[in-house]
Amino acid sequence: MPFVTITLREGKDKKFIKTLSETIHSAMLETIVFPEDVLFHKIHEVKKDNMIYLDQFRNVKRSEDMIFIECTIKAGRTPEKKQAMYKRISEALFSELGIRKEDIIIVIRENSAEDWYLQPN
Protein backbone atom coordinates (compact mmCIF):
# COMPACT_ATOMS: atom_id res chain seq x y z
CA MET A 1 0.00 0.00 0.00
CA PRO A 2 1.68 3.21 -1.12
CA PHE A 3 1.80 6.47 0.77
CA VAL A 4 2.83 9.18 -1.70
CA THR A 5 4.16 12.65 -0.99
CA ILE A 6 4.19 15.03 -3.95
CA THR A 7 6.16 18.27 -3.65
CA LEU A 8 5.87 21.05 -6.20
CA ARG A 9 6.06 24.81 -6.47
CA GLU A 10 2.95 26.63 -5.32
CA GLY A 11 0.61 28.24 -7.81
CA LYS A 12 -0.96 25.35 -9.72
CA ASP A 13 -4.75 25.24 -9.84
CA LYS A 14 -6.97 22.57 -8.26
CA LYS A 15 -7.54 20.80 -11.58
CA PHE A 16 -3.78 20.44 -12.13
CA ILE A 17 -3.28 19.05 -8.61
CA LYS A 18 -6.18 16.60 -8.99
CA THR A 19 -4.90 15.39 -12.37
CA LEU A 20 -1.37 15.10 -10.99
CA SER A 21 -2.53 12.89 -8.12
CA GLU A 22 -4.84 10.77 -10.29
CA THR A 23 -2.16 10.27 -12.94
CA ILE A 24 0.45 9.14 -10.42
CA HIS A 25 -2.07 6.84 -8.75
CA SER A 26 -3.10 5.22 -12.04
CA ALA A 27 0.50 4.72 -13.15
CA MET A 28 1.36 3.07 -9.84
CA LEU A 29 -1.69 0.80 -10.02
CA GLU A 30 -0.65 -0.32 -13.50
CA THR A 31 2.92 -1.13 -12.54
CA ILE A 32 3.52 -2.05 -8.91
CA VAL A 33 0.05 -3.48 -8.17
CA PHE A 34 -1.89 -2.80 -4.99
CA PRO A 35 -5.62 -2.71 -4.13
CA GLU A 36 -7.54 -0.13 -6.16
CA ASP A 37 -9.28 1.28 -3.08
CA VAL A 38 -5.98 2.47 -1.59
CA LEU A 39 -5.18 6.15 -2.10
CA PHE A 40 -3.03 8.16 0.31
CA HIS A 41 -1.42 11.22 -1.28
CA LYS A 42 0.01 14.21 0.56
CA ILE A 43 0.57 17.30 -1.60
CA HIS A 44 3.15 19.89 -0.59
CA GLU A 45 2.95 23.16 -2.48
CA VAL A 46 5.99 25.19 -1.53
CA LYS A 47 7.31 28.67 -2.22
CA LYS A 48 9.93 29.08 -4.95
CA ASP A 49 12.66 29.63 -2.33
CA ASN A 50 11.80 26.29 -0.71
CA MET A 51 12.34 24.22 -3.87
CA ILE A 52 16.10 23.92 -3.82
CA TYR A 53 17.88 22.02 -6.58
CA LEU A 54 20.53 22.64 -9.21
CA ASP A 55 19.31 23.99 -12.54
CA GLN A 56 21.44 21.31 -14.16
CA PHE A 57 22.39 17.89 -12.83
CA ARG A 58 24.35 15.29 -14.81
CA ASN A 59 23.84 17.30 -18.00
CA VAL A 60 20.06 17.42 -17.49
CA LYS A 61 18.56 20.91 -17.36
CA ARG A 62 15.75 21.39 -14.86
CA SER A 63 13.00 24.00 -15.04
CA GLU A 64 10.92 25.79 -12.43
CA ASP A 65 8.30 23.04 -12.78
CA MET A 66 10.24 20.40 -10.80
CA ILE A 67 8.15 17.79 -9.01
CA PHE A 68 9.44 15.49 -6.28
CA ILE A 69 7.48 12.26 -5.78
CA GLU A 70 8.26 10.15 -2.71
CA CYS A 71 6.59 6.74 -2.56
CA THR A 72 6.61 4.77 0.67
CA ILE A 73 5.68 1.16 -0.08
CA LYS A 74 6.00 -2.24 1.51
CA ALA A 75 9.18 -3.99 0.41
CA GLY A 76 9.10 -6.73 -2.18
CA ARG A 77 8.79 -5.17 -5.64
CA THR A 78 11.43 -6.23 -8.13
CA PRO A 79 13.81 -3.69 -9.66
CA GLU A 80 11.98 -4.23 -12.97
CA LYS A 81 8.62 -3.29 -11.38
CA LYS A 82 10.14 -0.16 -9.87
CA GLN A 83 11.71 0.87 -13.19
CA ALA A 84 8.37 0.26 -14.92
CA MET A 85 6.68 2.51 -12.34
CA TYR A 86 9.21 5.32 -12.87
CA LYS A 87 8.78 5.10 -16.62
CA ARG A 88 4.98 4.96 -16.51
CA ILE A 89 4.67 7.89 -14.10
CA SER A 90 7.00 10.09 -16.13
CA GLU A 91 5.33 9.22 -19.44
CA ALA A 92 1.84 9.75 -18.02
CA LEU A 93 2.69 13.08 -16.39
CA PHE A 94 4.11 14.33 -19.68
CA SER A 95 1.09 13.08 -21.62
CA GLU A 96 -1.55 14.39 -19.19
CA LEU A 97 0.05 17.60 -17.89
CA GLY A 98 3.03 18.36 -20.13
CA ILE A 99 5.50 17.86 -17.28
CA ARG A 100 8.92 17.20 -18.75
CA LYS A 101 10.54 13.94 -17.69
CA GLU A 102 13.61 15.98 -16.78
CA ASP A 103 11.52 17.79 -14.14
CA ILE A 104 10.43 14.68 -12.25
CA ILE A 105 12.32 13.01 -9.43
CA ILE A 106 10.84 9.83 -7.96
CA VAL A 107 12.13 8.14 -4.82
CA ILE A 108 10.88 4.88 -3.33
CA ARG A 109 11.18 4.16 0.37
CA GLU A 110 10.48 0.57 1.33
CA ASN A 111 9.42 -0.75 4.69
CA SER A 112 7.62 -3.71 6.30
CA ALA A 113 4.04 -4.34 7.39
CA GLU A 114 4.94 -3.60 11.02
CA ASP A 115 5.92 -0.06 9.96
CA TRP A 116 2.32 0.88 9.13
CA TYR A 117 -0.56 1.87 11.37
CA LEU A 118 -3.86 2.05 9.56
CA GLN A 119 -6.55 1.12 12.06
CA PRO A 120 -6.92 -0.79 15.29
CA ASN A 121 -7.01 -4.57 14.88
Does the pLDDT at position 1 exceed 80? no
Does the pLDDT at position 120 exceed 80? no
- Residues 3-67+74-115, CATH architecture: 2-Layer Sandwich (3.30)
Classify the phi-psi angles of 58: left when phi > 0, otherwise alpha if psi is within -120 to 50, otherwise beta. left
pLDDT range class, residue 113, cuts 50, 70, 90 = confident
pLDDT in tens, 14-52: 999 999 999 999 999 999 988 888 899 999 999 999 999
Give Cα separations from 68 to 5, 85, 117 (angstroms): 8, 15, 24
What pLDDT, on the 0 to 100 scale, is given for residue 31? 95
What pLDDT, on the 0 to 100 scale, is given for residue 121? 60
Domain ranges of the chain: 3-67+74-115
* pTM of the full structure: 0.92
Contacts of 101 (CB under 8 A, 6+ apart): 90, 91, 94
Q: Provide φ and ψ at 78, rounded to 5°.
A: -75, 160
Q: List the catalytic residues.
A: 2
Q: Which of 49-63, 83-97, 99-113 has the lowest mean pLDDT?
A: 49-63
Give the sign of the dihedral formed by CA 56, CA 61, CA 66, CA 71: negative
Q: How many residues appear in the chain?
A: 121
Cβ-count burial of 103 within 10 angstroms (0-12 exposed, 13-18 middle, 19+ buried)? Answer: buried
As a whole number of angstroms, the distance between CA 86 and CA 62 comes to 17
What pLDDT, on the 0 to 100 scale, is given for residue 96? 97
CB 1 within 8 A of CB 39: no
